[in-house]
Structure formats: C-alpha cells, structure tokens
Chain A
C-alpha cells in the first residue's frame, strides 16, 4: 500500500469519494468503522441507497455546485448537526443521539482538469457541541433553582409578545413572589431560604405546560409566561399555584416551614404596547395582592 492510501485509511476523519452519479468510489476506514458498512459493500452503490436521509435539496444543491462549477461546500454542525447518522462513540452522548459532524465537499479533477467526482470529509465535533450546549444552558438557567433566568425570560417575553400581537392571540403573564421571605432567611438562615426557593420553583415548574416559561425574576420573585392563554384561565392557574404552595410543609433541618405566595396576573391587550408595559401591569397586580393581605391572586385586564 502506498503512503497516500495508508493516509487515506488512517486519518481520524471520514473521507468519501463519490462520482457524478453520486455512487461511492472510495470509503475510508473511519467511515467503515462508524457506519458499520464495509467499503466492499458500498463501493459502486449510490450513496443515497445507504443514506436516504442525505437526499435533501441542500445536499443535492451542494453536489451540483461542486460538480457543475467546482465550488466547495461546507456543512456546519450548527445548522445540520450531522450528515451521516452515526452513533457518537464518546461518553458525552446525553444531549445528542448522533455524532455531531462538521463536513465539507469539493471537486476532484482528471488530468485535463475536468471534474470527475467529489470528495466529502466528515469530522466528529460532538465534544465541542456538547460544551457549547452546556454553555448555552448555563447562560439561560438560574444556577440555584434550575429554572430559566431573567435574561432568558426577557428575550422570550419580547419574542412571545411580538408573535402574539402579530397573530392576535391571547397571551398572559403571572408575576409572583414568596410572602415574608426575608423572615425565613432571618429565622432559619439563607440555606433554608435557598431550599424553599428550590422547592417552590420545582413545584410550580411541575404544574405548567411545556410551552409555558417559568423564570426566576430576581430574589424571591418569579415570572411565568403563558402563551395562548386568556386572563381568566391564567387567573385559575395562578389560584392553583397559590393553593398548592400554601399546602406544602417544607421540612428543613427538622424545622417545619410553611410559605405562601402572592400573585399578579395580566393579559396582552392594546393598552400595553410594549413587552415591558405588560410585565409592569402584572407587577402592579402583584403589588395590589401584597397590599390587600398577601396569599392571594389579583388579575388586572
């Protein structure tokens, strides 16, 4: 075996050559290993026969631009995730079912520089993608409670607000906070306070739909965005939140602590031209709930 063909089979990257009919001409050992398909089986066979998922408009467009005018094409992991559905072989597989790949494609020519075939390179970038995913998660979650953070909430509020205005749909917001929370911290210590923040947020998180967005707004204040929900339904839900939190007996280091929450509800309408004005309205309702004795829901249209 000459050096170049050794290299072809030993590099830690997938290499494939396909001809202008998209039949496989070369398939290196890396590809054999991850696909479980030997080069004997696949050479001479149309690539789509083994990988029908590659038969997409984008892939075909790239093949055409390579074969017709010698262009080079790049498939980034960000949009495509992968071209070839291979199982990832590292222990990082929790978030990704398949190996994340960064791929490229380019022309191969004969001595007269006519394009005869195209090559594909496949690089495993799963590990990088996992790190990126973790960083993104950290950027949108509250470290203590694990629910969304304020930054993420504000971003989603703007998006949901605009979407609901555009399609004239119902959209409601609940703001709530834990009553006399400072007293918990002062009496039982901040660790107990943290414990209660966690347990309140996980209780509420278990009561909402997948499309609702629950976030820690600050300190002991929370916010819940409710897409496709009118004020009356939001008020019923808020009342359910209130009751279920009041029923919990938090046990922390043999102390039994009960907590209540106050809630303000508002709904998108023409009165509120901006996302922040809608949030202010819910905050105003929360303020009223506090003022009239706490442990209650106030909804303001």
Chain B
C-alpha cells in the first residue's frame, strides 16, 4: 500500500499550479466560445492537507462570507476527488440571466427558489466540468462526474467533507477565485483530490514535464 504520507515537492506544486493555470485558461476560453459564458479564474493556490484538516481549512478560507451556497460534484477517473464551488448567498438570482433558459418566468410560489437552485447547479456543473475536464485532459485522463448537488443553500457554513476523504490521508487542495464578467458574482472553486490520485498525479506531472525536456 502506498498509504504513507505522500511527499509532494515544491517543484511538483509549481508544475501543478502551472497546469491548472493552462487548464483554467482553456476552460474559460471554451465556456466563452461554446456557450458565451465569460468567467475569469485567478491563479490557483495549492495546499497539501490531511483529510482531518480539511473542514478547518475550508472554514477558515470562507470566514469572510456570511451566508453561502455550495455546489458539490465528485469527479471520477484516475484523477479523482470532489469539486466545491462556493457562491455568496443570493448568487443564484444574479446568475439566472446568465443562462437563457428558454422558460417563461412564472411567479408561482417557490418556483423562483427552484430556478435559483437549478441555476447554481447548471453554472456549477459547467464551471466544474470545464475546469476539471481540462486538467484531466492535460494530464492524460478522462473523468466522469456525479450529478451536481447544492449541499449548502444560503446558509452559514458548516462543511462536512464526504467519506471520500480519509482523515489520515493526504489531499491536494486547489483553490481558485472566479468571477463572471459583467456580473457582480464571484466565489471560490476548490478541487480536492483523493489520496489515491496523488500518486497518479505525481507520475502524470513527471510525464507532462517530459514533453518539454
């Protein structure tokens, strides 16, 4: 078992950051080109954490937000883990106009809530799919996804990571800030990889570098 604490070198972190940068740039370009969604993604920040440290880390990262909504989606491939998209409360409403739903707006009680939630899910699915998909592609993998879920809705945060993350094991946490052009909505995207994909990731990083050597 390669369950020993993985040592990820600073160099590997740098490469990973670079790959994320390229991947997110491509993701943003794809979203703009294919479906006219213009999103800006910041340079990612990478941390190595034990599963047990995850909740505290996320809580700390999000302390400036009062109420938030979180869309969670798991990705499965050799590259494996969870993506969390954190929006400030009320972002769903702001984003409805981003997506042309082709639906008539109906002011029936509750329908706006559903529309808001579905908007978060769709935007989440697009953003996560594009970002994770591009990263996996650059690293020579293809991933599939679970349906996105709104795990926290306009609520103060209490983040409980799912059982994908063994408290003993190392996870790579990648954080990036996103914002939509011409929309006053920004938030965080966290990608948390599972322990078993860390080794794969290291090998893939090495392979990626070889292309340039």
Contact = CB atoms under 8 A, between A and B. Distances in A.
A74 B114 contact: no
A57 B122 CA distance: 13
Given A57-B101, A65-B34, A113 B130 contact: no
A4 interface: no
A270 interface: no
A70 B132 CA distance: 11
A58 B121 contact: no
Contact of B148 (A74, A106, A159, A163): A74
Contacts of A73: 125
Interface string B98-127: 011111000101000011011001100110
A79 interface: yes
Given A61-B99, A76-B118, A109 B147 contact: no
Interface string A144-161: 000000001001100100
A179 B126 CA distance: 60
Contact of B35 (A64, A74, A76): A64
Contact of B130 (A71, A76, A106, A109): A71
Which of B115, B129, B130 has most A Cβ within 10 Å?
B129
Interface residues of B, number: 30
Nearest to A73: B125
A79 B118 contact: yes
Given A58-B99, A65-B34, A65-B126, A70 B142 contact: yes
A56 B133 CA distance: 25
A106 B148 CA distance: 14
A72 interface: yes
A165 interface: no
A69 B34 contact: yes
B144 interface: yes
Contact of A78 (B27, B30, B114): B114
A65 B129 contact: yes
A156 B129 contact: no
A56 B142 contact: no
Contacts of B30: 68-69
Interface bin, chain A:
20 to 34
A243 B195 CA distance: 75
A69 B130 contact: yes
Nearest to B145: A72
B34 A64 contact: yes
Interface string A211-225: 000000000000000
Interface in B113-165: 114-115, 117-118, 121-122, 125-126, 129-130, 133-134, 137, 142, 144-145, 147-148
B27 A69 contact: yes
A79 B114 contact: yes
B213 interface: no
A106 B115 CA distance: 23
A79 B133 contact: no
Nearest to A140: B109
B182 interface: no
Given A58-B101, A58-B102, 14 more contacts: A56-B102, A64-B34, A65-B34, A69-B27, A70-B137, A71-B125, A71-B133, A72-B144, A73-B125, A74-B147, A76-B121, A79-B114, A79-B115, A104-B147
20 contacts: A56-B101, A56-B102, A57-B100, A58-B100, A61-B100, A64-B35, A65-B35, A65-B126, A69-B34, A69-B129, A69-B134, A71-B129, A71-B130, A71-B133, A72-B125, A72-B129, A78-B118, A79-B103, A79-B115, A104-B147
